[in-house]
Amino acid sequence: MAKRPIYYDTETTGLNPQKDRIIEIAAFDPVKNRTFDELVNPNMSIPKESSNICNITDDMVKDASTFDIIGKNFIEFCGENTILIAHNNDSFDKLFLQFEFERSNLKMPAWPFIDSLKWARKYRPDLPKHALQYLREMYNIEANEAHRALNDVIILQNVFEKMIDDLDIETVLKLLYQQKNDFIEYMPFGKHQGKKLEEVPKSYIRWLQENQALEKPQNANLKKSFEKLNLLSKL
């Protein structure tokens, strides 16, 4: 049986999955035409700058369930034989899910994941930017309330289906991750996200080294790509 896609998005208290928390998780199953949208009580105060971005406040989540409950609901919604898709998934949403499941003592299912940002960078190198809202404009998709999770999910589904055209979702998964040591051409995160590695300032690469960011398992390919370009030896 072919796997079905589940598009999802998270809103969080910040950018660090080790210390920040998910405050909203939303998903859309286009095959079953179902949506999932739940606020999550993070058991911490939401910083003002985060509320300004996602429009979620402490009052909105104070009576919401914590992730140990929401996580179980999300597992039930996604079910089995599914592939989860998010924009900047590998560097953000998936990491937050992993930490939340671990903190809640829940076993995270072995879902395959697709990072639509990684797909855009790999197969649309002709575009100057690959942010979700830029892609929405480029594909002439109508705007909605950006940065609330479910709204971003609906935009993502429309954008991604445009990008992959008539490819089935399992072929997309194979094309994107068929090489475990893929060369990374563009900076995948941080203030220089989207820049070609050759254009990333030496001072920033040095900062990544000094803070051991390149030693994290999820950044192994980034380190190899810097090394292949001989950028680490020039510091």
Q: Which two tokens stand for residue 224?
A: 């190899």
Q: Are residues 147 and 168 in the same domain?
A: yes
Question: Which of residues 141, 159, 177 is at a domain's end?
Answer: 177
Last residue of a domain, one of 177, 199, 223: 177
CA distance 63 to 156: 29
Is residue 156 domain-shared with residue 191, that is, in the same domain?
no
Q: What is the DSSP letter of 197?
A: G
Q: 171 and 201 in one domain?
A: no
Q: Dig out the tokens for 210 from the structure.
A: 């000094």
Q: Are residues 93 and 132 in the same domain?
A: yes
| Domain shared by 165 and 77, yes or no | yes
Angle value at C-alpha 134, between 173 and 46, nearest 5 degrees: 85
Q: Are 154 and 209 found together in one domain?
A: no
Print the domain residue range for 159: 4-177
| 60-110 residue pLDDT tens | 999 999 999 999 999 999 999 999 999 999 999 999 999 999 999 999 999
| Best CA proximity match to 116, nearest among 177, 75, 166, 71 | 177
pLDDT category at 235 given cuts 50, 70, 90 is low
* CB 18 within 8 Å of CB 99: yes
At 159-192, the pLDDT tens digits run 999 999 988 898 888 888 765 556 788 887 778 8
Same domain, 82 and 36: yes
**Catalytic position from the list 87, 130, 147, 192:** 147
Question: How many Å apart are CA 5 and CA 28, to the nearest integer?
Answer: 9
19/53 same-domain check: yes
> Each residue of 167-204: b (16+ CB within 10 Å) or e?
eebeebbeebeeeeeeebebbbbeebbbeebeebeeee
Instruction: Tell whether pTM > 0.95.
Output: no
Nearest Cα residue to 92 out of 193, 162, 164, 183:
193
Same domain? 16 vs 124: yes
Average pLDDT over residues 204-227: 88
Give the integer Cα–Cα distance in Å for 219 and 140. 33
Dump pLDDT digits (tens) for 31-48: 999 999 999 999 999 999
Q: Which tens digits make up the pLDDT trace of 101-146?
A: 999 999 999 999 999 999 999 888 889 999 999 999 999 998 876 6
At position 55, the amino acid (one-letter code) is N
Taking the C-alpha atoms of residue 233 and residue 235, their distance in angstroms, rounded to an integer, is 6
162 and 56, same structural domain?
yes
The CATH code of the domain that includes 77 is 3.30.420.10
Beta-ladder partners of 37 = 26
φ, ψ (nearest 5 deg) of residue 16? -100, 110
Q: Report the DSSP beta bridge partners of residue 26.
A: 9, 37
Angle, nearest 10°, between helix axes 116-123 and 169-177? 70
HSE, side-chain direction, 13 A CA sphere, residue 169: 22
Count of domains for the chain: 2
| Same domain for 76 and 152 | yes
* 3-class secondary structure, 126: coil
Structure tokens at 14: 């910040």
Regarding whether 193 and 167 lie in a shared domain, the answer is no
**Residue 116 CB-half CA count within 13 A:** 30
Q: Is 130 a catalytic residue?
A: no
